[in-house]
Amino acid sequence: QKPWLPARFLDLRLPPATFRRVFAFTRRLVLGFERLLRPRLPWVTASPRRQQLHALPIIVCALYLLLPLPVPFSNVIPAWSVILLAAGLLERDGAFILAGYGCAALATVFFAAIGFLGVGAADIIWRWVTQAPA
């Protein structure tokens, strides 16, 4: 089945210069990553079982990315975790994988704090709304 898009998007034409700018930026970004990535800390990716284990924080951070939170930039930390872990796995770079674990831990702390603060705020609002008039 053909995906549905609004008519204004179906008729949209982008100039070739836009694609050139996007590709130039993406190329610089990828080349920067490739300059940093290299096989190191081989014990981190030594076995297939360890490589499979590294998928767990990717899955957890992907679930964080699905949360519909009204907090600006709340997806940045889990997104960087996924990027670092995936790049580390592709290039067998243990340093990137460990950095990805650090970002995943930071994302977990961040979302736990948002959860605890959100429950506390909801409780305060509920008491305020249900409080008997004086």
pLDDT at 134: 62
Q: 3-state DSSP helix/strand/coil percent for the chain, to nearest 5?
A: 75, 0, 25
C-alpha span between 39 and 60 (Å, rounded): 25
The residue extents of the domains of the chain are 7-130
Interaxial angle between packed helices 76-91 and 55-66, expressed in degrees from 0 to 180 and rounded to the nearest 10: 150
The residue that leads in pLDDT, 56 or 124, is 56
pTM value is: 0.75
Which is higher by pLDDT, 23 or 127? 23
Decide: 46 and 96 in contact? Cβ < 8 Å.
no
For residue 99, give the 3-state DSSP assignment.
helix
Q: State mean pLDDT over 78-93.
A: 95
